[in-house]
Amino acid sequence: MYYEKKQCLYCGQVIQGRADKKFCDDQCRNNYNNQLKAVKNNEIRNINNALKKNRSILEELLRNSEGTFKVNREKLLEEGFQFKYHTHHYVNKKGNVYVYCYDYGYLELDQSSDWFLVVRKKSG
């Protein structure tokens, strides 16, 4: 009887052992699966990084202020803020829409003036 020699799916080396074995060792199996997951999770990772950066920018603006801070769109864009990435919205009783990146957010003060009020969500 002739058996076809199987090759490792990751490195291509000839596999010794069980007939259903796909990888030559655990390292090749892990590398293969990590490579598959990296391609699938790349977009998610990029979005999460953008959300974290947005939060960090808002946090830095509020660091030395008394709870709120007024900033214009140009300054946020200079810092690398990406308006399309946010975690949620909050509408207050007056109908104002706050856009949040986790616990830091902003309120567009006037659509024609490009000014924003940066806030931090109250805990509790």
- pLDDT, tens digit, 9 for 90 and up, residues 51-60: 999 999 999 9
Q: Is residue 20 part of a domain?
A: no
Helix (H) or strand (E) holding 51: helix 26-62
Backbone angles phi, psi at 74, to 5 degrees: -60, -45
Domain hosting residue 46, numbered range? 26-120
Give the Cα separation of 2 and 111 in Å (integer).
Answer: 76
Q: Is residue 3 part of a domain?
A: no
Which of 20, 2, 24 lies closest to 12, judged by CA? 24
What was the pLDDT predicted at 91?
96
pTM higher than 0.75, yes or no? no
Is 83 domain-assigned? yes
Q: What is the largest CA-CA distance in the chain?
A: 82
Domain count, the chain: 1
- The angle subtended at Cα 79 by Cα 75 and Cα 50, nearest 5°, is 130
User: Quick one: pLDDT at residue 57?
Assistant: 97
Residue keyed to tokens 């940066």: 118
**Is 7 domain-assigned?**
no
Residue 2: pLDDT over 60: no
Residue 14: inside a domain? no
Asked, for residue 4, whether it belongs to a domain, the answer is no
As a whole number, mean pLDDT of residues 64-80 equals 92
* Amino acid at residue number 72: N
